[in-house]
Amino acid sequence: MGKILMKGCEAIAEAAVLGGCRFYAGYPITPQNELPEYMSVRLPEVGGDFVQGESEVASINMVYGAATVGTRAMTSSSSPGIALKSEGISYLSGANLPALIVNVSRGGPGLGTIQPAQSDYLQATKAMGHGGFRMIVFAPYSLQEAVDLTYNAFDYAERDRNPVLILIDGALGSIKELVELPPMKELPTEQAKWQLGNPTGEKRVARMLTSIYPEAGLETLNRTKGEMAVAWGENDVMVEEFLLDDAEYVVVAYGIAARVAKEAITGLREKGVKIGMIRPITLFPFPKGSFRKLDYGKVKAFIDIEMTVPAQMRDDIALEVLDRAPIYEYGRSGGVLLDDDGVLEAIEKVLEGEA
Amino acid sequence: MKNTLLVGGSGGQGVMSVGTMLAESAAENGKYATFMPVYGPEQRGGSARCTVIISDDEIMSPLPKKVKTLIAMNEQSYKKFINELEEGGILVMNSSRVTSTVAREDIRIVSLPADDIALETGNIRNANIVMIGAYLASTGAMDPAEFMKSLEHKFKNKPEVIEQNRKALDKGAEIGKQTS
């Protein structure tokens, strides 16, 4: 199949279906309505089910229900809607259930704005709900990458029995560009040992899934989840290291911000500036290794570029860089988009020692 | 070559649809393309804008500060977006609706009464196609004939629509060519 022009939200929806999604529940919110709209037509075509819930809370709990019987289930929303779902996402993790959550983020806090922003980094990577659980967070920067990551998201979720988050901003959600779609994935034919329901009718011990641990057991779960997150850091980090070999200046950016930054970096390289970029593709686990292997005798400064103010990823950068080089930040926020000139000027200020 | 285009107009003037058609057609012709809509909270009658980038190479940033070409479908969008046109850029303006005198002297202007032409060629709703004809012919972003092929494919079950579009596109391209 060749490349076709698709809209971000629709490309993610299609990739989820191709990756095995057979249940979607959600509640409308801009700028991600094209995703449920697409699902409402597409899922019935493949024998799946689409539900527009009466609220975000209802929707995430329907996803919980579908996940208990082994159906690949997802929901999507935008920032304030994701916040409403956070309790249910925590319950998913607490009950060891796989699911796919997509946040097409917009400006905040509060109802904020319907325009795009990258203001949910901290929520996504530190505390997507109460109780101290973590999730793998994918942050694609192109629609092709969004398709590829979404397509495989259920494999991670089922391997870990934990929800997975895809975080993109509203601009990538509404942009149209070329994507190549993968083939439809074969769904697992055998029921996993934890899944509810008894399709074959065999005699077996009753199964239970819950996120409440009235007696012992919760600490064990906490330990297991903690070890799982450490293992992600060893095995599942995804990062693009762009022109880092001789870099004196290192931009750190993800998603839409990384695209604008890459354009600026390419231009500056043509002028002989030794500049490169670390682009986290998994925001959690954070690509610590890319910072550890830098030659700090050479690196003069880091520039954190995010479409949010103040920068949020900066804390994670600082934990790796410590005081070995200064970290500057540049961003736009509140629904104002980054643009080529603004990003280039911000980088040039750092180069000229004026930041 | 990388062509950045901003199309501005009011809801209902076919800004989004023509932007999408252009990006789709560029993609069908082996180019890279991105289409970026910006919706306000308004719908019909509100302002609508989109950015279309057509390039021979993979497109990195979809967020240029300034564009090489501005298609202004009406007065409001002309006023709102004229300063987003880069120096030496091309303004393609619908003189049926843009009433301002253009003050900038550092740009090239392709002015045509797209509403009137669309009406003459069969349907006032094709003003956006007239403008695209002028845009393609004056910038060389793509061969208007290639764009027409995409329209033929898109409307293959509506021959009368194809003919109206062809006339609108040709007329726009004719005017665009004179100023290229």
Query: What confidence tens digit (pLDDT) does each residue in A304-342 have?
Result: 999 999 999 999 999 999 999 999 999 999 999 999 999
Mean pLDDT of A283-302: 97
**Fold for domain A239-351?**
Rossmann fold (3.40.50)
- Judged by a CB distance cut-off of 8 A, whether residue B164 touches chain A is no
- CA A343 to chain B, closest CA, distance in angstroms equals 10
The boundaries of the domain holding residue B106 are 2-178
Confidence bin at A21 (pLDDT 50/70/90) = very high
**DSSP H/E element including B171:** helix B159-178
Mean pLDDT of A346-352: 97
**A309 closest CA partner among A336, A344, A346:** A336
Tell me which residue in A175, A266, A341 faces B62 most closely, judged by beta carbons.
A175
Mean pLDDT of A110-115: 95
> What pLDDT sits at residue B85?
97
Mean pLDDT of A148-161: 98
Q: Compute CA distances A185 → A66, A156, A221, whole Å.
A: 19, 14, 31
ipTM metric: 0.92
Upper half-sphere CA count for residue B89 (Cβ side, 13 Å): 21
Mutate to test the interface with B, among A1, A3, A4, A5 (most CBs of B within 10 A): A5
**DSSP H/E element including B27:** helix B15-28
Mutate to test the interface with A, among B16, B50, B61 (most CBs of A within 10 A): B61
Confidence bin at A216 (pLDDT 50/70/90) = confident
> What pLDDT sits at residue A24?
98
Tell me which residue in A177, A262, A263 faces B33 most closely, judged by beta carbons.
A177
Query: What are the helix (H) ranges across chain A?
Result: 8-18, 34-45, 56-68, 79-94, 121-126, 143-160, 170-174, 218-235, 255-270, 288-292, 314-321, 340-351
Place domain A4-235 in its CATH homologous superfamily.
Thiamin diphosphate (ThDP)-binding fold, Pyr/PP domains (3.40.50.970)
Binary contact (A256, B65; C-beta < 8 A): no
Could you give the percent of chain A with pLDDT greater than 70? 100
SS3 B67: strand
**DSSP H/E element including B144:** helix B144-154
Q: Is the pLDDT of residue B130 over 90?
A: yes
CB pairs under 8 A between A and B: 62
- Taking the CA atoms of residue A166, residue A167, residue A170 and residue A175 in that order, the dihedral angle to the nearest 10 degrees is -50
At A19, the amino acid letter reads G
| Candidate from A246-250, A343-347, B46-50, B78-82 with smallest mean pLDDT | B46-50
Q: Give DSSP secondary structure letters for A136-197.
A: EEE--SSHHHHHHHHHHHHHHHHHHTSEEEEEEEHHHHH-EEEE-PPPPPPPP-SPPTT---
| Domain extent listing, chain A | 4-235, 239-351
- Residue A63 in contact with residue A88, Cβ under 8 Å? yes
**DSSP H/E element including B172:** helix B159-178
Query: What confidence tens digit (pLDDT) does each residue in B11-51 have?
Result: 889 999 999 999 999 999 999 999 999 866 555 567 889 99
Binary contact (A178, B27; C-beta < 8 A): yes
Binary contact (A340, B63; C-beta < 8 A): yes
> What pLDDT sits at residue A2?
83
Q: Compute CA distances B120 → A294, B18, B124, whole Å.
A: 65, 20, 8
- Judged by a CB distance cut-off of 8 A, whether residue B18 touches chain A is no
Q: Do domains A4-235 and A239-351 have the same CATH topology?
A: yes
> What pLDDT sits at residue A141?
98
Q: How many domains does chain B have?
A: 1
Mean pLDDT of B163-171: 97
Q: Is the pLDDT of residue A179 over 70?
A: yes
Give B64's contacts in chain A (Cβ within 8 Å): 339-340
- CA B22 to chain A, closest CA, distance in angstroms equals 11
- Residue B31 CA to residue A135 CA, distance in Å, equals 38
Query: What confidence tens digit (pLDDT) does each residue in A54-91 have?
Result: 999 999 999 999 999 999 999 999 999 999 999 999 99
What are the residues of chain A with a beta carbon less than 8 Å away from any beta carbon of chain B?
3-5, 114, 171, 174-178, 256, 259-260, 262-264, 266, 337-342
SS3 A77: strand
- Residue B179 CA to residue B135 CA, distance in Å, equals 10
